[in-house]
């Protein structure tokens, strides 16, 4: 049976493995490398998770099937003048465990956490062309509110290649 809960220190190594799988999957998608680097700039899921555990407004959740961890979610609080926004930075479920409710359960833990903090809203990321991710979040009441356009700096790339 699928379920989710807030992660504890016993889950960290398994979540780090899943995070590496998530990054590998992102690399094959348009904008995936940029998103992976933005969420995990040092490339170390374990260090990131340990730091998150020390921040009480961050949340790490695990998704389970029969008590086996098959997915995870990570969210942080972003505060700006006059608003508190929960940001779901990562939500991943192993491919063989998808479409049975694990992602829904993980999302529920993250949303409940941010609701408990009194957030004004919650943001989540979906890459262009990833219709399943977009549909998943729309099914949880999210709507698109920002499209980020990007242009790689070709001059810098060609200069680096000339050296």
The per-residue pLDDT for 157 is: 54
**Euclidean distance between CA atoms 125 and 78, whole angstroms:** 14
Encode the chain (163 residues) as per-residue pLDDT tens digits: 999 999 999 999 999 999 999 999 988 888 888 888 888 777 788 888 888 888 889 999 999 999 999 999 999 999 988 899 999 999 999 999 999 999 999 999 999 999 999 999 999 999 888 899 999 999 999 998 887 777 777 665 555 555 5
pTM over 0.75: yes
Torsion of Cα atoms, 30 then 34 then 35 then 41, to 10°: 160
Q: Supply the pLDDT for residue 124.
A: 94
Phi, psi angles (nearest 5°) of residue 119: -65, 150
């Amino acid at each position: 049976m699928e379920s989710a809960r807030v992660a504890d220190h016993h889950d960290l190594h398994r979540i780090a493995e899943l995070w590496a799988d998530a990054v590998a999957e992102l690399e094959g998608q348009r904008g995936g490398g940029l998103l992976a680097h933005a969420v995990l700039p040092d490339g170390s899921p374990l260090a990131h998770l340990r730091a998150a555990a020390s921040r009480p407004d961050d949340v790490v959740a695990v998704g389970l099937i029969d008590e086996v961890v098959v997915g995870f979610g990570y969210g942080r609080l972003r505060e700006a003048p006059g608003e508190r926004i929960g940001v779901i930075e990562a939500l991943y479920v192993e491919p063989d465990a998808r479409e049975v409710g694990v992602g829904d359960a993980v999302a529920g833990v993250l949303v409940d956490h941010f609701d408990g903090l009194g957030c004004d809203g919650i943001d989540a990321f979906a890459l262009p062309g990833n219709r399943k991710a977009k549909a998943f979040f729309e099914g949880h009441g999210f709507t698109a509110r920002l499209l980020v356009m990007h242009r790689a700096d070709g001059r810098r790339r060609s200069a680096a290649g000339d050296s």
